Amino acid sequence: MRHFPTFFDLQDKPVAVIGGTAMALQRSRLLIAAGARVTVFARTLAPDLAELTLDGQIRWEAAQAEPADLAEYRLAFVATGDAEGDAIAAEQARRAGVAVNVVDRPELCDFIMPAIVERGAVTVGISTGGASPVLARNLRARIEAALPARLSELARFAASFRDKAKSLIAGAAERRRFWDAVLDGPVAEAVLAGREETARSLADELLADGAAARKGAVYIVGAGPGDPDLLTFRAHRLMQQADIVFHDELVGPEVLNYVRRDAERVYVGKIKSHHSKSQEQINELLAEHARAGKRVLRLKGGDPFVFGRGGEELDYLRRQGIETIVVPGITAALGCAASAGIPLTHRDHASSVTFLTGHTRDGELATDWRVLARPDQTLVVYMGLSNAASLAAKLLVAGLPRGTPVAIVERGTRPDQRVSTGALSDLKALAERHKDGGPALLIIGKVAALANADIQTFATSLKEAV
């Protein structure tokens, strides 16, 4: 390890920036964010850097920095934009006894700047020792994606409990178990979800009863329409933390590959005329494993609250007194339409969109078909493939034109996605093409003509529709 990693407290400390370039501006902004008192030494300033002087955020010395000028400063950052100027400025700083960093010149540096990931009080620095700044930036991007947006709130929350935990939990090992339970369980997830009052209540329970550290929780998580790249950051994090995962038919192996390898996996999928487990059995299983102290992940295709029975599971678990957190996912309507190139709303052709299910509890869709048959809207039908003929007939009777564009998107967002397009009068025949395929979504309305079509095809389809 050539460079020793450390963090300086620069709050209200004097720091020099030598140079008036765009890179000097970048360094100045970082230092201002750290609370430093920044002085820039330069004959001229880049426009945005000059604005910082006008705002009083930095002080400007329109002169070359001499050793006597730099003696009071804790650190010096050099960015003159000129190789000779950089070398001279670095030497002047060293003669003043000030540690120096020169932008893009590691051979002139006493210390180097890491790539930084910041979440408030939580700061991560990544360095390759100057070997590859681009690699450091790439690593930063990966870490940015992995760290929750509210991580700073979690750090602040933990700080607020430190004294209380120390006074109530005597041993270091017991305190460590308490903090493990706080930072890797329902308490942390409540903080990260913005539910601090719930988090405090759960943390107080942990303090009051050490056994409560083993208290479980259920996370009802939307897995999106199929492409694992469409998982949310939060869904991915919970998939890595779960002890047991209950997953649906619509959650494919590509998504399940992101689940922690040693987590138990239980299939509870439902397909037409065959349910591996009833909804009541699923509810009971979720509650049973949470009571056993496990982190239970209920992984559902799309979004759990859009035709996913997530609401029924949430209601049951809350009535059982089990901590339950819901994480939304990209619902199939949004994911499949985007993947097929279909805008669900369009300023010229669709001013509203309606989501329907092709299957209800009693098997009959009770709705006002005249409202659904309005021409300037988009209908998206989930689980409607087997009822496509009946759906088309009712819309035609209600007055929707026979030429209204329709699209069927099968296995939307996945590599084996299939899209069929046509007119409402052809919907029965189109559905036959997909009867032996995977899950499919019906999109009905003028915008469906955009699926995999050029603008001329779209214009022709619209004329036929009206």
Q: What is the largest CA-CA distance in the chain?
A: 90
pLDDT at 40 over 60: yes
Q: Give the residue from 118, 83, 79, 76 showing the smallest Cα distance to 100.
A: 76
Which of 43-57, 265-279, 397-411 has the lowest average pLDDT? Answer: 265-279
Q: Average pLDDT of the chain?
A: 89
> Given this model, what pLDDT does residue 206 score?
83
The token pair at 212 is 């409560």
User: Which uninterrupted H or E stretch holds 406?
Assistant: strand 405-410
For residues 105-114, give the mean pLDDT.
91
What is the number of other CB atoms lying within 10 angstroms of the CB of residue 211? 10
> Given this model, what pLDDT does residue 458 score?
41
> Given this model, what pLDDT does residue 349 score?
84
| DSSP summary character for residue 114 | P
Select which of 204, 243, 270, 277 is catalytic: 270
> Given this model, what pLDDT does residue 405 score?
95
The token pair at 170 is 């005597």
Concerning whether 376 is annotated as a catalytic residue, the answer is no
Which of 4-13, 143-152, 377-386 has the lowest average pLDDT? Answer: 143-152
> Given this model, what pLDDT does residue 457 score?
42
Task: Print burial letters for 151-162: b (CB count within 10 Å at least 16), e (below 16).
Answer: bbbbbebbeebe
Using a pLDDT cut of 90, give the percent of the chain over it.
Answer: 61
Strand partners for 117: 124
> Given this model, what pLDDT does residue 391 score?
92
The token pair at 338 is 């985007």
Q: Which CA distances in Å does 356 have to 426, 442, 451?
A: 20, 10, 20
> Given this model, what pLDDT does residue 454 score?
42
Is 327:394 a contact under the CB 8 Å cutoff? Answer: no
Q: Name the percent of the chain in helix, strand, coil, to the closest 5.
A: 40, 20, 40
Residue-wise pLDDT tens digits, 133-171:
889 889 998 888 888 888 999 999 999 988 888 888 877
Q: Is 446 helix (H, G, I), strand (E, B) or coil?
A: helix
> Given this model, what pLDDT does residue 466 score?
46
> Given this model, what pLDDT does residue 285 score?
96
Residue-wise pLDDT tens digits, 243-293:
999 999 889 899 999 999 999 999 998 766 555 789 999 999 999 999 998
pLDDT at 455 over 80: no
Q: Which residue has the higher pLDDT, 238 or 463?
A: 238
Which of 20-34, 71-85, 158-172, 388-402 has the lowest average pLDDT? Answer: 158-172
For residues 455-461, give the mean pLDDT.
42
Is 426:397 a contact under the CB 8 Å cutoff? Answer: no
Nearest 5°: the CA angle 45, 51, 55 is: 130
Amino acid at 284: E
Which of 176-190, 357-371, 410-424 has the lowest average pLDDT? Answer: 357-371
What whole-number distance in Å separates Cα of residue 311 and Cα of residue 304?
Answer: 8
What whole-number distance in Å separates Cα of residue 358 and Cα of residue 356?
Answer: 7
pLDDT at 385 over 50: yes
> Given this model, what pLDDT does residue 264 score?
94
For residues 82-88, give the mean pLDDT.
94
pLDDT at 77 over 70: yes
> Given this model, what pLDDT does residue 362 score?
56
> Given this model, what pLDDT does residue 130 score?
76
What whole-number distance in Å separates Cα of residue 260 and Cα of residue 240?
Answer: 5
Residue-wise pLDDT tens digits, 120-134:
888 999 988 878 888
How distant is the alpha carbon of residue 352 from its chain centre?
27
| Residues contacting 358, CB < 8 A, separation 6+ | 365, 381, 382, 383, 384, 385, 386, 387, 388, 391, 442
Residue-wise pLDDT tens digits, 320-331:
999 899 999 999
> Given this model, what pLDDT does residue 460 score?
44
pLDDT at 317 over 70: yes
Select which of 248, 294, 300, 446 is catalytic: 248
What whole-number distance in Å separates Cα of residue 203 and Cα of residue 1?
Answer: 39
Concerning whether 262 is annotated as a catalytic residue, the answer is no
For residues 2-23, give the mean pLDDT.
92
> Given this model, what pLDDT does residue 94 score?
94
Q: Give the residue from 454, 433, 456, 458 showing the smallest Cα distance to 445.
A: 458
What is the number of other CB atoms lying within 10 angstroms of the CB of residue 92? 23
What whole-number distance in Å separates Cα of residue 200 and Cα of residue 70?
Answer: 49
Q: Is 348 helix (H, G, I), strand (E, B) or coil?
A: coil
For residues 36-53, give the mean pLDDT.
94
Which of 31-40, 142-151, 296-305 has the lowest average pLDDT? Answer: 142-151
Residue 133 main-chain phi, psi, to 5 deg: -55, -35
Q: Where are the beta strands (DSSP E) in 131-175?
A: none
For residues 68-91, give the mean pLDDT.
95
> Given this model, what pLDDT does residue 271 score?
65
Residues in the chain: 466
Residue-wise pLDDT tens digits, 177-232:
788 888 878 889 889 988 899 999 988 888 887 544 567 889 999 999 999 999 99
Q: Is 345 helix (H, G, I), strand (E, B) or coil?
A: coil
> Given this model, what pLDDT does residue 165 score?
87
Strand partners for 61: 41
What whole-number distance in Å separates Cα of residue 131 and Cα of residue 221?
Answer: 41
